[in-house]
């Protein structure tokens, strides 16, 4: 009788222990989701989404249905078929934006304005499931389904399918962009990827962000293992890595190792000395690097200019180059003039050094 009582007590104890462990693991998983996918930050992000109309950009508000029944909100901003300048041709590039882990696509629009108005590319931005006005609940598996759904939609879009894609991912968005580019349907359609402050994996980032959770990192279910996935990206897709040297969330070493792990035949790594995790995008030379890279992503691309007058691909003789260099108060080269000699392109010291020995602006990158 005593033996049976002891057995019953042990069984009850085991049941309680199992329940406790299950609740603990469930709690850890919920904490992961809150940390990785804060979709309601800032407050109201799940109910109010700005539109491109706020920035004077024509657009289509698209709903994309995923194979598992979720509905994704997307904005597609297409350049007009004919420009007032008869010499200009419709762009052959589309920038697809992959947002960070907070906010919604309305928060990406100030950047979309630069891409659309100044660089004059088509722009696509979409909300992952559980973000903005998209339905569902965010998860790695679900967002990967979203990426495939957007890719298939763009391949069938009457205008976008005739262009080449440049993927632009920031932080978590970089991981999604890498996965997008690794899909078989992306081959021949994606020509370049711009990654800003992207991590190797969530598992490897946990100890960097919350050191107390280091012993529990093995319980991580939202892995986003870009360190492995980037090796699956075709080598003919060009890569630009933009890294904030003072990033306090994603260690710059993560970004650099992704660069090293990639198989891309053409790739660039640019460190922004004063860049933190959330302000790298506003650092000097960020958009110079971006535009110079994007212009290299399709050999068919026409010479195009931003509102600042940057003309990538303008051939210069050494004499012309010398004439187009301007010194600042300290006698250092800070800018190069456009081919029509009307506007200046700001250059970093590093760029200026390179510019002194080149004969083509496109080589400044």
Residues 152-168 pLDDT 10s: 999 999 999 999 999 99
Catalytic residue among 247, 254, 262, 305: 247
Is 255 among the catalytic positions?
A: no
In this prediction, residue 121 carries a pLDDT of 95
Which range among 135-149, 166-180, 201-215, 226-240 shows the weakest confidence by mean pLDDT?
201-215
Helix then strand count (H, E) for the chain reads 10, 11
Contact between 326 and 334 (Cβ < 8 Å)? yes
Alpha helices in 81-171 (DSSP H): 109-113, 140-156
Catalytic residue among 50, 277, 314, 348: 277
Phi, psi for residue 96 in degrees, rounded to 5: -100, 120
Among 36-50, 167-181, 340-354, which range has the highest average pLDDT? 167-181
Predicted structure pTM score: 0.75
Residue of 160, 166, 137, 133 lying closest to 64 (CA atoms):
133
Is 262 among the catalytic positions?
A: no
Is 149 among the catalytic positions?
A: no
pLDDT exceeding 90 applies to what percent of the chain? 58
Residue of 49, 280, 282, 61 lying closest to 174 (CA atoms):
280
- Rounded Cα distance between 99 and 82, Å, is 30
CA 125 from centre of chain: 11
Contacts of 74 (CB under 8 A, 6+ apart): 61, 62, 63, 64, 105, 124, 125, 126, 127, 150, 153
Catalytic residue among 39, 45, 127, 171: 171
């Amino acid at each position: 009788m005593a033996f049976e009582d002891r057995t019953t007590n042990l069984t009850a104890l085991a049941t309680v222990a199992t329940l406790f462990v299950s609740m603990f693991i469930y709690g850890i998983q919920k904490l992961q989701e809150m940390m990785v996918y804060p979709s309601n930050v800032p407050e109201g992000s799940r109910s109010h989404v700005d539109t491109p109309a706020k920035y004077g950009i024509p657009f289509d508000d698209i709903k994309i249905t995923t194979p598992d029944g979720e509905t994704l909100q997307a904005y597609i901003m297409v350049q007009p078929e004919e420009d007032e300048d008869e010499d200009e041709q419709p762009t052959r590039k589309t920038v697809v934006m992959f947002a960070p882990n907070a906010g919604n696509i309305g928060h990406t629009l100030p950047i979309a304005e630069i891409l659309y108005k100044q660089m004059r590319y088509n722009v696509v931005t979409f909300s992952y499931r559980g973000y903005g006005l998209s339905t569902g609940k965010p998860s790695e598996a679900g967002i990967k389904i979203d990426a495939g759904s957007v890719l298939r939609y763009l391949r069938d879009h009457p205008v976008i399918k005739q262009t080449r894609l440049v993927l632009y991912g920031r932080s978590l968005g970089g991981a999604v962009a890498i996965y997008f580019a690794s899909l078989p349907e992306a081959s021949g359609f994606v020509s370049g990827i711009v990654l800003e402050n992207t991590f190797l994996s969530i598992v490897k980032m946990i100890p960097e962000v919350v050191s107390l959770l280091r012993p529990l990192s093995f319980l991580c279910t939202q892995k986003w293992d870009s360190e492995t996935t980037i090796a699956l990206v075709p080598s003919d897709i060009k890569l630009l890595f933009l890294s904030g040297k003072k990033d306090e969330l994603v260690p710059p070493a993560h970004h650099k190792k992704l660069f090293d792990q990639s198989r891309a035949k053409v790739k660039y790594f640019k460190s922004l000395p004063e860049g933190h995790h959330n302000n790298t995008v506003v650092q000097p030379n960020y958009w110079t690097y971006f535009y110079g890279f994007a212009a290299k992503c399709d050999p068919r691309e026409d010479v195009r200019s931003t509102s600042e007058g940057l003309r990538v691909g303008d051939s210069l003789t050494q004499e012309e180059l010398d004439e187009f260099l301007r010194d600042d108060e300290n006698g250092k080269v800070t800018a190069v003039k456009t081919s029509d000699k009307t506007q200046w392109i700001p250059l970093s010291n590093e760029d200026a050094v390179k510019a002194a020995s080149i004969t083509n602006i496109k080589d400044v990158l």
